[in-house]
Structure 1
Amino acid sequence: MHFKVKNKVGAQVPTLFLLPKRRSVQSTWCRFLKTDECGFSNPRLNTVGVDTARTRPVKVGTLFATLLLLFVMITQTTGQSLTDSLTAYLRRLPTNAQVSVAVESLADSTRSFHHQADERVPSASLIKLPILIEAMERIKAGQLDPDEIHILTDSEKTGGDGILKTYSHRSRIAYRDIIRLMMIHSDNTATNILINELGMNAINQRIRSLGLAKTQLNRVMMDTAAVRQGRENYVTAREMNQLLTKIYQHQIATPALCDQMLDILKQNENRQTIPRLLPNTVVVAHKTGILSYVRGDVGIIYAPQPFVLSVLVQGVSTAEAERIISEIALMCYNHYKG
């Protein structure tokens, strides 16, 4: 449900509520994904902001090759264990592809696979998942009021993904909407507002309290100077799975807030990675991340046997990384669908 709040000191701004099954507008999504979080051009978008990876015509030969590849993947993995099929797949990849994978059943902890799952990888926007968790813990403790209004200033706006950078100076927006924008639109301005409100040290302390030893928030979004100095945000595939599992099992904040987090993650409309090759009926609660040098996706796949999957790819083009993530997701889905 959208409606306008009259702003006495700024512009009218849309209010977004944390309601189940909200869907953001496709045109808005395409418009604001022109750059990654460090300001690099996204090669999948043309100059008018239309995702050419979704709109360009598919050649018959390309479509046939893709279908043939999927058929081979399915037939070759039939009867194989998940470990055998994924190991064989990873061995066939180009040597320059650096892939971290963690996949675990949410029903049977013995059914899992890990490959370089403890490797620290630049997080891109995946770091927004622990920021979301800290925000929910603050709401539980009564230290953050989701209905409190934040007055947006021009000095807070930053580039890359997001729509808050287009809002007028002194626009009014509730913290619950800032949280949603950070996750659904991967809004960098919203993320930086939350980092400043919650505190970087507090976010990292929360990460440690949850048992994550390698995940680290070291800079705000779009801090290119920090990147040049070697200060990056880091995650691992295994630790992202741990966070997702805790949310799924209602072990963070409150069960109601966990359900809200899951609902937000389900509204991610970026389907270039984990959901790409899965049946459209399969629900995926996930968070994506993209930089010019890393592509990642972490999520819960609601297969007949639900599972968590985190994949981070470095060393190849964005398009190649997206293909790798989507194919790994399909292989895992075929294993867990029963």
Structure 2
Amino acid sequence: MTWDDLDARLAAVPGTASVYAGRLDAAPTWTHAEHAPHYAASTMKVAVLAALYRAAEAGALDPDTPVPVHNDFPSAHPDGPRFSLTPHYDNDNAVWDRLDRTATLRWLAERMIVRSSNLATNILLGHVGLPAVAEVWALAGARHSVTGRGIEDYTAQAAGITNLVTAADLAALLGALATGATRPGPVATPASCATMLDVLRAQEFREDLPAGLPAGVPIAHKNGWVTGVRHGVGVVHPHDAPPYVLAVCTTTDLTDPDACRLLADVSARVWAARHDLRPAS
């Protein structure tokens, strides 16, 4: 299957499908509607993770300090009421098991990524702040992505305050973490970037991009999904080719299993071309 074949397949998807694929520190090999905005779902959690590590580097937060695990949050809307999360809408019982007790910021950050904990995400947002997350997007070179509110802040959502990403911006953020692990970069120190990549490699939800890779291939990735939305972004480290970044965002009428298969198929095609991921002419 050629890139043109994939373009045609994605163009036929009922909705919007976006892709950015290419090696690190290089122009992409293949893109498709890479600047189209999508509701972020849980992919915004990568920017929250980076904001935490930047705050730790600046001495503003100690990631190993225990903090209260609570379920009461201020709205991003200036006049909005405080709100709480719904347990059954979350993916991680471990954080809810600590409700009204404490946990370290580092542990909460790990649960936010590996199990996509919504409760951990909102607690972390309360400590790092939305402006710090916006700074991460800007430092990574993102052009259109916005993290405007916490999860389940429905008052803010109704007022148009939302979380958006593009495939190009997600690729820029993951690419910045991957290159930043080997040399100083704009987002965080090499040590922090390497630690964040380790957390992303431990991701437990693997039904989309990782499903298109051979077993055992390392991928540092984060996915996100709500009804009608399925995204995945990751840095793949083949043993026989340079690493590459792949971001796929879908806002479609596909069922979630079909959307996962689509992401896996795109991932498999990019993997097959891993030796020839040169910048597009």
Q: TM over 0.5, yes or no? A: yes
SS at the partner of 1:312? strand
Partner AA of 1:308 in structure 2: V
Partner AA of 2:123 in structure 1: I
Q: Where does the alignment leave 5 or more consecutive residues of structure 2 unmatched? A: 74-83, 277-281
Alignment of 1:45-124 (within 5 A): 77=1, 80=2, 83-91=3-11, 93-94=12-13, 96-106=14-24, 109-110=26-27, 112-124=29-41
* Residue among 266, 269, 276 paired with 1:331: 269
SS at the partner of 1:249? helix
Deviations 1:207-266 (A, max 9, x none): 224322211111111223433443320011001111111111112311111111110010
Deviations 1:69-93 (A, max 9, x none): xxxxxxxx3xx5xx334324334x3
Scaled by the length of structure 2, what TM-score is found? 0.84
Q: Matched residues in 2 for 1:210 and 1:306: separation?
A: 18
Match of 1:279 in 2: 214
Q: Where does the alignment leave 5 or more consecutive residues of structure 1 unmatched? A: 1-76
Contact 1:128–1:183 (Cα < 8 Å) also in 2: yes
Partner AA of 2:196 in structure 1: M
Q: Matched residues in 2 for 1:84 and 1:151: separation?
A: 51
Change (3 A) 1:185 1:88: same
Q: Matched residues in 1 for 2:193 and 2:95: separation?
A: 28
Match of 1:6 in 2: none
Between the aligned residues of both structures, percent identity stands at 27
Q: Matched residues in 2 for 1:333 and 1:209: separation?
A: 28
Match of 1:202 in 2: 132
Contact 1:164–1:190 (Cα < 8 Å) also in 2: no
Contact 2:145–2:164 (Cα < 8 Å) also in 1: yes
Taking only aligned residues, the RMSD between alpha carbons, in angstroms, comes to: 1.9
Change (3 A) 1:310 1:111: closer
* Residue among 66, 69, 72 paired with 1:149: 66
Contact 1:124–1:289 (Cα < 8 Å) also in 2: yes
Bigger RCO (CA 8 Å, 6+ sep) = 2
Greater Rg, structure 1 or structure 2?
Answer: 1
Partner AA of 1:261 in structure 2: M
**Cα offset for 1:111?**
5.2
Q: Matched residues in 2 for 1:255 and 1:168: separation?
A: 32
Q: Once superposed, which parts of structure 1, at least 4 consecutive aligned residues long, lie more than 4 Å away?
A: none
Contact 2:96–2:119 (Cα < 8 Å) also in 1: no
